[in-house]
């Protein structure tokens, strides 16, 4: 597969390390009253869709950036590639 | 050595003679021959024995779709089994032998299987050899394995090397026939970067095998001229002898280039083959079409082949397979073969089941007739024909060409879930649902005429590259329509081969249907139709057609099986490339490696690192002697060990401390500058991930270490936390593992040694336990010093830029000479850390928590850290949880092996009563007996208990005493000295 | 002045195989610069004053005596002659202050200069960089024989500089030599 890196352009997926569901960005707050349940969900429960999936790829043999790649797990079509840090900020993860 | 079947013409080089041997006999052929064409020229039709029935077989094709003519090529370690004689380029000195026979090729003892064919039909494995069960492994399987099969491996190391490479282009064209060549010319003239790949050693495709003209030149000459024009264009890369084996995602193609297969041995250092990964924007598949046979009784005798193969042998290779030749065809293309052969002086007769078969002036055409059987023990001698009026006629012939029509070569169009669709006019599947960026041209698309292929190729390139200019002028070429009446097998045929490689007959397909294996995928698995080296290229469609007829369905309703890469077989060596033997993976050498070699160190691979395992001295006969000495010397005076391999990262920035607070379960925010601290990282599920130290070199700069094994994954995790969880913390990470040479200097005399090297005061007051600093050594070289201890002794780790690592180890050894400083390796390191009760990978094994490790109280509840929430959940905090303990044998002579399990002394020994397990064990030269670290249920409260340590698999059953994991200096006085 | 003598990663003589010359270059001091949060502009100004320009994405600035290339967003590798700039990291830190995190990298890398007419052929069987499309000053991080490396297209058309992990210098050189032999 080819991942179109936001800065470096098309790069072979072999340069990347895969980590699965991009929901891992949405780490729960440890201070919330239901933190234990939320972390259980966060650590163990993942969707495994046949179809579009947002997932985390690490550009190990590149600029060492984590990317959120929107990929169709059936066709391998990739519709969007974003820096995970941008996604994290958009999710309110700025300090 | 006469080439009795050699006729005039063709593209062989008659001035270059190649001598070769087949089954020990020497023959001669010419450059430009294949092994098959050269053997046929010499009158050799018999080239192999079939898979199951050991029937005599000869080539059925003249290309890579060959099911039968598989040979052992070359000899000794270079022997390659299952090599298709039809694609093997002849070279001087080639040796080949036939395979899958017992005895000689012409007298194969296993040919008895053919007599037993009634019992050996499809599925016979499953039915026949069921009982008694014990017989399967001992009797049936060895016999079947001996009798059935293809070639055999040499079991020697492959002496050849293989490369893997990467190519980038705008347009990849697969196939250099008329369509591919026109596409290449169109694209090349536009300036695009073009790769043209063809599996053949001579580009031109079918043009090399045909007699028709393009413009005023012979097709083959036109192709040759175009190929040389393309070869001179800088933006074109021609890859002959290169098979595109797979179409992968997003314009990535795999291609195997046979660089040296056409020479006896590759030049020194040159690869035999290169496996290319080609990245392309667009692709044109111009892979042509494959002629399919017709099934009739005994249609597998040597001399029976596809009509187009006969045409190739005659036109391209100058070989008449038989002086008398019959052609059995259901379409007009078969008549071309007849005409070409006739023109070459071969006596020809055509059998065409169509009542309206075209007539010919110069030879006999039997319209409405069918070949119903053949004769000839080791090769075809007669064909029995049923004439239109029902009478039979025996025809003498040495060759019989069959033509059941042409199948577009859709293989690569299907590698990305594409499914071909049925075309009634062609009676064949044509491409449908192409991989993104691919177009198909020429016969592969179903354009069966030369003119159609030329125009289609040019048009495909024009569209693929979105060219605006005018199309190139098309050369004049034949433009005959396809005229075919589908005809798959002769009525009543049963011992008629559908898949010759796997010995699948019409009867087997019927049996499969009768027994309910009717889906194509079931048909394939039940009969093995379409398996093997040729993957049914000539066979599948016939099997489908018969199944369709039996099931009362149309062929498209039955469908095709999946086409998967590789298109043709690829040697495993090509996938391995250079990564084999010593080069399987790169080696990482520590800065002291050269010095350690000089000391005679024994090395061990840790990850890719080569670490000194121990340093044997003269007179030491076992590793234990060396290791015991190293441990005692370190604990009694001073030792030195290269610890460069520990993962190291610089963590910098205003928020560096806050970042470490998040990734470690224990606190780092208040760690003063100049101090280091042990840190434990948890996974988010609360399980321990890795440990190490973080040293605060400045308020905004930490040096973090990880275990050697986890350096990469921990760094990745740290980047994940930084970028994905806290993207706006001011923290920068960079790995510095290889930038610093780092040595542990440990033992009561460690300070005395380092005082001679370090420029600063390192007294206990000035540089206490867990101190760290940027310092200088040897009069001004920048260095880092950490007072950390893995051994439990007074110890320092000293780091200098890697280039000075060699000099520093020598300086440390010189400075320590008066204390008999002893270098120690990973074994002694391991012994000392077990004696001290330090955890490592054996204990941080992916199942253990901080609490299990006895570090439960380290998990701070005053701050958030990765894994802290889930580390507190009930399931990880039970009363009888595992705790790290020490284990020593009651009888001090007994070992306490790792992996053994702890049981209650007087209780049952079984998994249900398992109390825990030993993770690390060693002999302690300081204590004089074996010791071990273990996890034990409720271990903290069981110190002093006597237990059984068992390992039923290795006959271990030892009485042990549970003790503290800190065997040496439990109060930590030594390391604070 | 200290009296320790540095050793090069390999200390091997330049080798010529066919048209290709492979030379270990032990004379390069390296330091990485990573901009602190919100300090990218200051960082860029300093780099510009040193290099004449800030290396853009995937590019190097082949300036003399200092040179630099882009590693990641807000991160660059700076190089200079070892003879004169062994303390490159300290020099950079002095200029950058709190605007950037600076890390000495000299010890982490082995540097090979590969030149010759067959250099592109060598690259093709060595690593996945589009070597024939690269122009002078193009840089790509890639994998050579499983090792993470930087490949820098230098000013001469037939010249690449490869930075690879120093600890694996021997394996990397072996890969370069086998590839050079294969295309010779």
In a mutagenesis test of the B interface, which of C4, C105, C138, C149 is the best target, namely the one with the most B β-carbons within 10 Å? C4
Residues C48 and C86 in one domain: yes
**Cross-chain Cβ contact B868/A30 below 8 Å:** yes
* CA–CA min distance C7, chain B (Å): 5
Residue-wise pLDDT for B532-541, tens only, equals: 899 999 999 9
Chain-centroid distance, C-alpha B777: 50
Question: Worst-scoring range by mean pLDDT, B267-276, B780-789, B905-914?
Answer: B905-914
Query: Which of C106, C145, C184 is closest, CB to CB, to B586?
Result: C145
Confidence tier at B131 by pLDDT (50, 70, 90): low
Across the range B587-597, mean pLDDT stands at 97
In a domain, C5, yes or no: no
Query: Radius of gyration of chain C from Cα atoms?
Result: 16
In a domain, C168, yes or no: yes
Residues B581 and B546 in one domain: no
Query: Chain C within 8 Å of A7 (Cβ-Cβ)?
Result: yes
Q: Which residue has the higher pLDDT, B935 or B952?
A: B935
Residues B280 and B416 in one domain: yes
- Surface of A (76-95) touching B: CB under 8 A: 76, 78, 83-89, 93-95
Chain-centroid distance, C-alpha B817: 52
Range of the domain at C97: 28-106
Identify the pLDDT of residue B119: 67
- State pTM to two decimals: 0.94
**Cross-chain Cβ contact C130/B168 below 8 Å:** yes
Identify the pLDDT of residue C23: 98
Mean per-residue pLDDT of chain C? 96
In a domain, C119, yes or no: yes
Residue-wise pLDDT for B490-502, tens only, equals: 988 878 999 999 9
3-state SS assignment for residue C176: helix
Residue-wise pLDDT for B841-886, tens only, equals: 999 999 999 999 999 999 998 999 999 999 999 999 988 899 999 9
3-state SS assignment for residue B972: coil
Query: Chain C within 8 Å of A14 (Cβ-Cβ)?
Result: yes
Residues C19 and C64 in one domain: no
Q: Write out the two tokens for A61.
A: 């043999």
Residues C162 and C123 in one domain: yes
In a mutagenesis test of the B interface, which of A30, A31, A38, A90 is the best target, namely the one with the most B β-carbons within 10 Å? A30
Across the range B689-708, mean pLDDT stands at 96
pLDDT for B115 beyond 80: no
Identify the pLDDT of residue B912: 93
In a domain, A34, yes or no: yes
CATH for C55: 3.30.70.1520
In a domain, A95, yes or no: no
pLDDT for B136 beyond 90: no
Across the range B702-716, mean pLDDT stands at 95
Whole-angstrom Cα distance, residue C107 to residue C109? 6
Query: What residues of chain A lie within 8 A of the CB of C148, using their CB?
Result: 60-61
pLDDT for B524 beyond 60: yes
Query: Chain A within 8 Å of B719 (Cβ-Cβ)?
Result: yes
CATH for B207: 3.50.50.60
In a mutagenesis test of the C interface, which of B574, B586, B741 is the best target, namely the one with the most C β-carbons within 10 Å? B586
Whole-angstrom Cα distance, residue B348 to residue B28? 27
Identify the pLDDT of residue B102: 77
Q: Where does a domain end: B699, B716, B737?
A: B737
Identify the pLDDT of residue B146: 64
Burial, B35: exposed, middle or buried (Cβ in 10 Å; 0-12, 13-18, 19+)?
buried
Element of type H or E holding B551: helix B540-551
* CA–CA min distance B724, chain A (Å): 5
Identify the pLDDT of residue C174: 97
Residue-wise pLDDT for B915-929, tens only, equals: 999 999 999 999 999
Query: Which of A7, A8, A12 is closest, CB to CB, to C128?
Result: A12
Q: Where does a domain end: C106, C128, C162?
A: C106
**Cross-chain Cβ contact C181/B778 below 8 Å:** no
Across the range B404-417, mean pLDDT stands at 95
Across the range B447-461, mean pLDDT stands at 96
**Cross-chain Cβ contact A88/B872 below 8 Å:** no
What total number of domains does chain C contain? 2
Residues B631 and B769 in one domain: yes
In a domain, C8, yes or no: no
In a domain, C145, yes or no: yes
Q: Where does a domain end: B120, B154, B188?
A: B154
**Cross-chain Cβ contact B720/A39 below 8 Å:** no
Cβ partners under 8 Å of residue B948, min gap 6: B902, B903, B904, B905, B909, B957, B958, B959, B960
Residue-wise pLDDT for B180-200, tens only, equals: 999 999 999 999 999 999 999
In a domain, A56, yes or no: yes
Q: Which residues of C touch A (CB under 8 A)?
A: 57-58, 71-73, 75, 128, 141-143, 148
Query: Chain C within 8 Å of A63 (Cβ-Cβ)?
Result: yes
Query: Residues for chain C: how many in total?
Result: 184
Chain-centroid distance, C-alpha B194: 28
Identify the pLDDT of residue B974: 94
pLDDT for B292 beyond 80: yes
3-state SS assignment for residue B113: helix
**Cross-chain Cβ contact A93/B726 below 8 Å:** yes
Confidence tier at B130 by pLDDT (50, 70, 90): low
Residues C50 and C117 in one domain: no
For C71, name the nearest residue in chain B, comparing CA atoms only. B734
Whole-angstrom Cα distance, residue B887 to residue B903? 13
Residues B670 and B771 in one domain: no
Chain-centroid distance, C-alpha B98: 28
The DSSP bridge pattern shows strands B80-84 and B70-73 to be antiparallel
Whole-angstrom Cα distance, residue B554 to residue B540? 15
Residue-wise pLDDT for C10-20, tens only, equals: 999 999 999 99
Residues B203 and B344 in one domain: no
CATH for C21: 3.30.1360.120
In a domain, B977, yes or no: no
Q: Write out the two tokens for C172.
A: 């990397």
| Percent of chain B residues past pLDDT 90, beyond the cut | 88
Residues B785 and B884 in one domain: no
Neighbours of chain A (3+ CB pairs under 8 A): B, C
Residues C153 and C99 in one domain: no
pLDDT for B321 beyond 60: yes
Residues B784 and B807 in one domain: yes
Confidence tier at B747 by pLDDT (50, 70, 90): very high
Identify the pLDDT of residue B149: 67
Residues B230 and B331 in one domain: no
Identify the pLDDT of residue B123: 67
In a domain, B351, yes or no: yes
Residues B576 and B598 in one domain: no
Across the range B65-87, mean pLDDT stands at 95
Query: Which of A7, A14, A62 is closest, CB to CB, to C141?
Result: A62
Residues B126 and B169 in one domain: no
Q: What are the φ/ψ torsions at residue A31 (nearest 5 degrees)?
A: -90, -10
What total number of domains does chain A contain? 1
Q: Where does a domain end: C43, C71, C106?
A: C106
**Cross-chain Cβ contact A85/B724 below 8 Å:** yes
In a domain, B441, yes or no: yes
Query: Chain C within 8 Å of B176 (Cβ-Cβ)?
Result: no
In a domain, C88, yes or no: yes
Cβ partners under 8 Å of residue B258, min gap 6: B241, B242, B243, B272, B273
In a mutagenesis test of the A interface, which of C72, C139, C145 is the best target, namely the one with the most A β-carbons within 10 Å? C72
pLDDT for B781 beyond 90: yes
Identify the pLDDT of residue B361: 87
What total number of domains does chain B contain? 7
Tell me which long-range contacts B419-426 makes (C-beta under 8 A, separation of at least 24). B419/B559, B419/B560, B420/B560, B421/B556, B422/B554, B422/B555, B422/B556, B425/B482, B426/B482, B426/B484
Identify the pLDDT of residue C43: 95
Query: Chain C within 8 Å of A64 (Cβ-Cβ)?
Result: yes
Confidence tier at B150 by pLDDT (50, 70, 90): confident
In a domain, C116, yes or no: yes
Range of the domain at B535: 497-551
Query: Chain A within 8 Å of B251 (Cβ-Cβ)?
Result: yes
* CA–CA min distance B878, chain C (Å): 44
In a domain, B839, yes or no: no
Whole-angstrom Cα distance, residue B107 to residue C39? 85
Range of the domain at A62: 2-90
In a mutagenesis test of the C interface, which of A13, A61, A82, A94 is the best target, namely the one with the most C β-carbons within 10 Å? A61
Residue-wise pLDDT for B222-261, tens only, equals: 999 999 999 999 999 999 999 999 999 999 999 999 999 9
In a domain, C2, yes or no: no
In a domain, B835, yes or no: no
Contact of B660 with B668, CB cutoff 8 Å: yes
**Cross-chain Cβ contact C182/B161 below 8 Å:** yes
Q: Where does a domain end: B115, B137, B154?
A: B154
| Percent of chain B residues past pLDDT 70, beyond the cut | 97
- Surface of B (906-925) touching A: CB under 8 A: none
Query: Chain B within 8 Å of A25 (Cβ-Cβ)?
Result: yes
**Cross-chain Cβ contact B869/A88 below 8 Å:** no
Contact of C59 with C152, CB cutoff 8 Å: no
CA distances from C102 to B382, C32, C94, C150 (A): 86, 6, 10, 19
Residue B141 DSSP one-character state: H
Query: Residues for chain B: how many in total?
Result: 977
Residue-wise pLDDT for A12-57, tens only, equals: 999 999 999 999 999 999 999 999 999 999 999 999 999 999 999 9
Q: Where does a domain end: C49, C76, C106?
A: C106
Residues B454 and B510 in one domain: no
Q: How many CB pairs under 8 A join A and B?
A: 82
Residues C145 and C116 in one domain: yes
For C129, name the nearest residue in chain B, comparing CA atoms only. B166
Residue-wise pLDDT for B541-550, tens only, equals: 999 999 999 9
Query: Which of B250, B719, B728 is closest, CB to CB, to A2?
Result: B250
Confidence tier at A70 by pLDDT (50, 70, 90): very high
In a domain, B558, yes or no: no
Identify the pLDDT of residue A24: 97
In a domain, B861, yes or no: no
**Cross-chain Cβ contact A2/B251 below 8 Å:** yes
In a domain, B364, yes or no: yes
Burial, B485: exposed, middle or buried (Cβ in 10 Å; 0-12, 13-18, 19+)?
middle
Whole-angstrom Cα distance, residue A18 to residue A60? 10
CATH for A67: 3.30.2270.10
Q: How many CB pairs under 8 A join A and C?
A: 26
**Cross-chain Cβ contact A65/C58 below 8 Å:** no
**Cross-chain Cβ contact B778/C3 below 8 Å:** yes
Residues B17 and B84 in one domain: yes
Query: Chain B within 8 Å of A50 (Cβ-Cβ)?
Result: no
In a mutagenesis test of the C interface, which of B734, B736, B740 is the best target, namely the one with the most C β-carbons within 10 Å? B734
pLDDT for B1 beyond 60: no
Mean per-residue pLDDT of chain B? 94
């Amino acid at each position: 597969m080819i991942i179109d890196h936001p800065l470096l352009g098309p790069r072979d997926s072999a340069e990347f390390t895969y980590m699965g569901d991009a929901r891992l960005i949405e780490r729960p707050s440890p201070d919330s009253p239901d933190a234990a349940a939320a972390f259980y969900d966060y650590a163990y429960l993942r969707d495994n869709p046949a179809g579009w999936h947002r997932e985390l790829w690490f550009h190990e043999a590149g600029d060492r950036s984590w990317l959120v790649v929107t990929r169709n797990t059936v066709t391998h079509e990739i519709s969007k590639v974003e820096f995970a840090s941008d996604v994290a900020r958009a999710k309110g993860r700025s300090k | 050595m006469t080439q009795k079947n050699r006729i005039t013409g063709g593209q062989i080089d008659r001035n270059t003679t190649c001598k070769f041997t087949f089954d020990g006999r020497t023959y001669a052929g010419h450059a430009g021959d294949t092994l098959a064409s050269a053997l046929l020229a010499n009158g050799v039709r018999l080239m192999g024995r079939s898979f199951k029935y050991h029937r005599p077989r000869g080539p059925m094709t003249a290309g890579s779709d060959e099911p039968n003519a598989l040979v052992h090529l070359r000899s000794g370690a270079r022997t390659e089994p299952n090599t298709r004689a039809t694609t093997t380029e002849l070279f001087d000195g080639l040796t080949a032998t036939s395979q899958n026979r017992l005895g000689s090729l012409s007298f194969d003892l296993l040919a008895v299987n053919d007599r037993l064919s009634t019992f050996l039909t499809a599925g016979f494995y499953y039915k026949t050899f069921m009982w008694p069960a014990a017989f399967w492994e001992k009797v049936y399987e060895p016999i079947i394995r001996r009798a059935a099969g293809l070639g055999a491996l040499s079991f020697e190391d492959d002496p050849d090397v293989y490369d893997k490479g990467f190519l980038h282009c705008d347009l990849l064209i697969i196939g250099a026939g008329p369509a591919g060549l026109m596409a290449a010319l169109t694209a090349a003239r536009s300036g695009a970067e073009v790769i043209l790949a063809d599996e053949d050693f001579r580009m031109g495709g079918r043009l090399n095998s045909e007699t028709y003209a393009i413009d005023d030149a012979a097709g083959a000459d036109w192709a040759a001229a175009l190929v040389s024009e393309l070869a001179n264009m800088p933006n074109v890369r021609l890859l002959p002898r290169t098979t595109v084996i797979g179409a992968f995602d997003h314009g990535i193609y795999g291609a195997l280039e046979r660089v040296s297969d056409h020479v006896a041995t590759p030049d020194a250092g040159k690869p035999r083959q290169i496996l290319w990964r080609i990245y392309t924007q667009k692709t044109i598949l111009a892979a042509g079409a494959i002629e399919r046979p017709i099934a009739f009784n005994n249609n597998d005798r040597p001399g029976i082949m596809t009509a187009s193969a006969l045409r190739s042998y005659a036109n391209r290779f100058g070989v008449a397979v038989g002086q008398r030749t019959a052609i059995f065809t259901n379409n007009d293309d078969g008549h071309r073969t007849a005409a070409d052969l006739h023109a070459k002086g071969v006596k020809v007769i055509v059998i065409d089941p169509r009542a309206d078969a075209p007539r010919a002036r110069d030879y006999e055409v039997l319209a409405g007739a069918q070949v119903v059987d053949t004769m000839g023990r080791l090769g075809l001698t007669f064909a029995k024909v049923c004439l239109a009026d029902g009478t039979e006629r025996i025809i003498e012939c040495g060759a019989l060409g069959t033509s059941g029509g042409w199948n577009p070569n859709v293989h690569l169009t299907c590698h990305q879930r594409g499914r071909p669709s049925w075309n009634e006019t062609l009676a064949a599947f044509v491409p449908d649902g192409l991989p993104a960026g691919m177009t198909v041209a020429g016969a592969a698309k179903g354009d069966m005429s030369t003119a159609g292929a030329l125009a289609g190729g040019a048009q495909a390139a024009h569209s693929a590259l979105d060219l605006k200019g005018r199309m190139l002028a098309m050369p004049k070429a034949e433009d005959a329509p396809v005229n075919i009446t589908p005809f798959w097998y002769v009525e009543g045929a049963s011992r008629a081969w559908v898949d010759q490689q796997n010995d699948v007959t019409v009867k087997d397909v019927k049996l499969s249907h009768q027994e309910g294996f009717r889906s194509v995928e079931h048909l394939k698995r039940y009969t093995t139709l379409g398996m093997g080296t040729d993957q049914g290229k000539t066979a599948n469609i016939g099997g489908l057609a018969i199944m369709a007829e039996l099931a009362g369905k149309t062929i498209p309703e039955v469908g095709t099986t999946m086409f998967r890469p590789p298109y043709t077989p690829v040697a495993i060596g090509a996938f391995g490339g250079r990564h084999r033997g010593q080069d399987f993976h790169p080696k990482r050498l520590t800065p002291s490696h050269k010095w350690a070699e000089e000391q005679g160190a024994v090395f061990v691979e840790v990850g890719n690192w080569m670490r000194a395992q121990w340093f044997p001295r003269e007179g030491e006969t076992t590793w234990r002697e060396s290791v015991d000495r190293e441990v005692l010397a370190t604990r009694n005076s001073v030792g030195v060990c290269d610890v460069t391999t520990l993962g190291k990262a610089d963590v910098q920035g205003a928020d560096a401390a806050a970042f470490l607070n998040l990734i470690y379960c224990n606190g780092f925010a208040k760690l003063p500058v100049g101090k280091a601290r042990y840190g434990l990282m948890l996974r988010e599920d609360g399980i321990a991930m890795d440990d190490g130290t973080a040293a605060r070199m400045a308020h905004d700069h930490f040096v973090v270490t990880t275990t050697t094994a986890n350096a990469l994954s921990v760094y990745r995790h740290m980047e994940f936390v930084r970028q994905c969880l806290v993207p706006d913390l001011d923290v920068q990470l960079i790995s510095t593992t290889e930038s610093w040479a780092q040595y542990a200097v440990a033992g009561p005399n460690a300070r005395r040694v380092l005082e001679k090297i370090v420029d600063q005061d390192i007294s206990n007051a000035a540089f206490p336990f867990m101190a760290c600093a940027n310092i200088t050594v040897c009069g001004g070289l920048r260095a880092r010093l950490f007072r950390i201890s893995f051994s439990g002794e007074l110890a320092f780790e000293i780091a200098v830029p890697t280039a000075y690592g060699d000099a520093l180890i020598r300086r440390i050894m010189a400075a320590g000479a008066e204390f008999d400083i002893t270098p120690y390796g990973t074994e002694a390191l391991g012994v000392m850390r077990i004696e001290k009760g330090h955890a490592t990978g054996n204990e941080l094994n992916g199942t253990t928590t901080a609490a299990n490790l006895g570090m439960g109280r380290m998990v701070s509840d005053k701050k958030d850290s990765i894994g802290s929430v889930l580390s507190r959940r009930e399931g990880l905090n039970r009363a009888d949880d595992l705790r790290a303990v020490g284990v020593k044998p009651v009888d001090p002579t007994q070992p306490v092996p790792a992996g053994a399990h702890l049981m209650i002394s007087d209780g049952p020994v079984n998994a249900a009563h398992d109390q825990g397990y030993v993770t690390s064990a060693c002999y302690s030269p300081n204590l004089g007996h074996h010791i071990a670290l273990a996890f034990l249920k409720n271990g903290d409260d069981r110190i002093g208990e006597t237990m059984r340590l068992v390992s039923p698999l290795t006959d271990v059953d030892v009485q042990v005493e549970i003790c503290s994991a800190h065997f040496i200096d439990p109060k930590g006085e030594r390391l604070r000295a | 002045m200290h009296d320790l003598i540095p050793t090069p990663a390999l200390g091997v003589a330049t080798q010529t195989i066919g048209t290709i010359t492979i030379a270990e270059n032990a004379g390069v001091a390296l330091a990485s610069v990573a901009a602190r949060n919100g300090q990218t502009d200051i960082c860029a100004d300093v780099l510009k004053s040193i290099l004449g320009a800030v290396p853009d994405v995937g590019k190097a600035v082949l300036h003399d005596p200092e040179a630099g290339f882009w590693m990641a967003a807000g991160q660059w590798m700076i190089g200079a002659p070892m003879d004169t700039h062994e303390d490159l990291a300290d020099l950079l830190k002095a200029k950058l202050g709190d605007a950037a995190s600076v890390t000495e990298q000299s010890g982490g890398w082995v540097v090979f200069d590969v030149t010759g007419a067959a250099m592109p052929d060598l690259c093709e069987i060595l690593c996945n960089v589009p070597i024939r499309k690269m122009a002078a000053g193009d840089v790509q991080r890639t994998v050579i024989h499983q090792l993470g490396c930087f490949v820098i297209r230098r000013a001469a058309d037939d010249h690449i500089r490869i930075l690879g992990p120093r600890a694996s210098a021997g394996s990397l050189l072996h890969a370069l030599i086998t590839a050079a032999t294969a295309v010779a």
